Amino acid sequence: MAPPRPPRLVPALRALLYWSLVYGYCGLCASVHLLKLLWSIGKAPAQTFRRAARANPPACLNDPSLGTHCYVRIKDSGLRFHYVASGERGRPLMLLLHGFPEFWYSWRHQLREFKSEYRVVALDLRGYGESDAPAHQESYKLDCLIADIKDILDSLGYSRCVLIGHDWGGMIAWLIAICYPEMITKLIAINFPHPSVFTDYILRHPAQLFRSSFYYFFQIPWFPEFMFSINDFKALKHLFTSQSTGIGKKGRQLTTEDLEAYIYVFSQPGALSGPINHYRNIFNCLPLKHHMVTTPTLLLWGKEDAFMEAEMAEVTKTYVKNYFRLTVLSEGSHWLQQDQPDIVNRLIWAFLREEIRRE
């Protein structure tokens, strides 16, 4: 006799529980931020809604030592992407994918470092910086983001690359390695675990659920963008500079000009909606149907990451069916490639050269 089929009610109940958790936590996060807003208005109403005028970009964004500003238009989507490239054309491609709230400039230390042997391309992801930002939320599904990277690689004239991703860019890098392993010679993820590890861990560990509360807050329309902009983008500054979430005391601090570069980019009209829309589709796209990574992989992790628990890094190795190395920097923050650039660059060089010898 065939074994009895599980009742159809069970998957339905699981889905109900899942979405109840998602929307319930969304409501909780919104309530917390609303209280913060009311407190700010009560304390300093004029300051809350003040925004400094920023008509011109800081000089560091046009620093010629970082590379050349370029654009590429994708035929299928019609979108135009901005990137900064260093190193000679024709060299092997190193493609850099930033996280949130970042843009190409978060890779400034790597653009200078690796141009001696690579064509280094630091991309503004869909919706970020000078890249096009579709208005509809559905345009930021993970399938679209994966297709962007594949199409950009083709448009640049390459079939393979070294792919490096940090934070949300790390998520996309993992997905590219899963879906298109033939495109990636080496994968380097910075402070983001394998996506399957992340989705499983966050449901089982309340502490990580709390650390990832912004994923839930971002599901709410327009309010997250507004909260980021009040007090002249105080929340953005806080992420990079506070003791709880910013670069550690022993890390390389952002200069005043570096910080102003971030505020300039995200203070442009509508500049926050595209980046936050990346997160507004995530609960419909995970968990993954396919999991395994067959590309040689380096995972770099800052132990003082305020947003990701380090235990996820250890579990990630079970999803990589190839050479895998994990290096945890004890004093590194979430912003690792900016925080500890010399160490990060040295570890990347060692990984690339070791793998070259192994090939």
154 counts as catalytic? no
* Chain-centroid distance, C-alpha 230: 23
Which of 82, 98, 166, 334 is labelled catalytic? 334
What is the phi/psi pair of residue 135, to 5°?
-80, -30
CA 48 to CA 146: how far, in whole Å? 38
Per the annotation, the verdict on 167 as an active-site residue is: yes
| Residue-wise burial string across 276-296, b where 16 or more C-beta atoms lie within 10 A, e elsewhere | bbbbbbbbeeeebeeeebebb
Q: List b or e across 182-201, with b for residues whose CB sees 16 or more CB atoms inside 10 angstroms.
A: ebbbbbbbbbbbbbbbbbbb
**What is the amino acid identity at position 99?**
G
Contact criterion met (CB below 8 Å) for 279 and 218: yes
Give, in degrees to the nearest 5, the angle at Cα 248 between 243 and 251: 155
> Do 265 and 98 meet the contact criterion of CB atoms below 8 Å apart?
no
Active-site residue, selected from the candidate residues 83, 140, 216, 279? 279
| Cβ-count burial 27-58 (b if 16+ within 10 Å, e if not) | eebbeebeeeeeebeeeeeeebeeeeeeeeeb
Q: How many helices and strands, by DSSP H and E, does the chain display?
A: 15, 8
**Distance (Å, rounded) from C-alpha 204 to C-alpha 10?**
19
Catalytic residue among 167, 258, 305, 339: 167
Round to whole Å and give the CA distance between 166 and 295.
17
Q: Which residues are catalytic?
A: 167, 279, 334
